[in-house]
């Protein structure tokens, strides 16, 4: 190539079939909104509102001293995944406090369920 002269590069048609979709896909990814997930043990914060809670049909308890722990949405990467409810054995002198998503400013924070001592 001569000094100071630019030549147009000709792209073979077979290759252009792959380049154009690749460039379009890359440009979409560059402008797609990203969801930021912050995990500070045991705190989980996300930028997007979780889906509505699913209505679950509770199966029969495995015994008389069990407590139902409701299902909830978990954020995995860019997806919301439902974690089904389950039965847990009742703990003496404690009650189950259900977990929930709470809006704080522009973020959503997961407050995990936990056992709480019952005051007498």
Q: If you average pLDDT over every residue of the chain, what do you get?
A: 79
Label residue 93 left, alpha or beta by phi (over 0 means left) and psi (-120 to 50 means alpha). Answer: left
Dihedral sign, Cα of residue 41, residue 34, residue 101, residue 79 = negative
Q: CA-to-CA distance for 52 and 54, rounded, in angstroms?
A: 6
Per-residue pLDDT band at 32 (split at 50, 70, 90) = very low
Rounded average pLDDT over 82-107? 96
Query: Residue 28's pLDDT band (boundaries 50, 70, 90)?
Result: very low
Q: What is the mean pLDDT of residues 86-106?
A: 96
Check pLDDT > 90 for residue 46: yes
pTM of this structure:
0.62
How far apart are the C-alpha atoms of 110 and 40, rounded to whole Å? 11
Tokens 């889906």: give the residue. Answer: 51
And the tokens for 76?
Answer: 């995995």
In this predicted structure, what is the pLDDT of residue 39?
Answer: 52
- pLDDT (tens digit, 9 = 90+) per residue, 81-93? 999 999 999 999 9
Has residue 30 got a pLDDT over 50? no
> DSSP string spanning 82-111?
EE--EEEEPPTTEEEE--EEEEETTEEEEE
């Amino acid at each position: 190539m001569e000094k100071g002269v630019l030549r147009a590069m000709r792209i073979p048609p077979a290759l252009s079939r792959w380049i154009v979709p690749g460039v379009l896909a890359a440009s979409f990814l560059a402008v797609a909104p990203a969801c930021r997930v912050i995990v500070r043990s045991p705190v989980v914060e996300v930028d997007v509102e979780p889906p509505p809670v699913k209505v679950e049909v509770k199966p029969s308890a495995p015994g008389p001293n069990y407590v139902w722990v409701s299902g909830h949405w978990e954020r995995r990467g860019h997806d919301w995944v439902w974690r089904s409810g389950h039965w847990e054995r009742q703990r003496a002198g404690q009650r189950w406090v259900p977990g929930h998503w709470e809006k704080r400013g522009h973020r959503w924070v997961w407050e995990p369920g936990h056992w709480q001592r019952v005051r007498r």
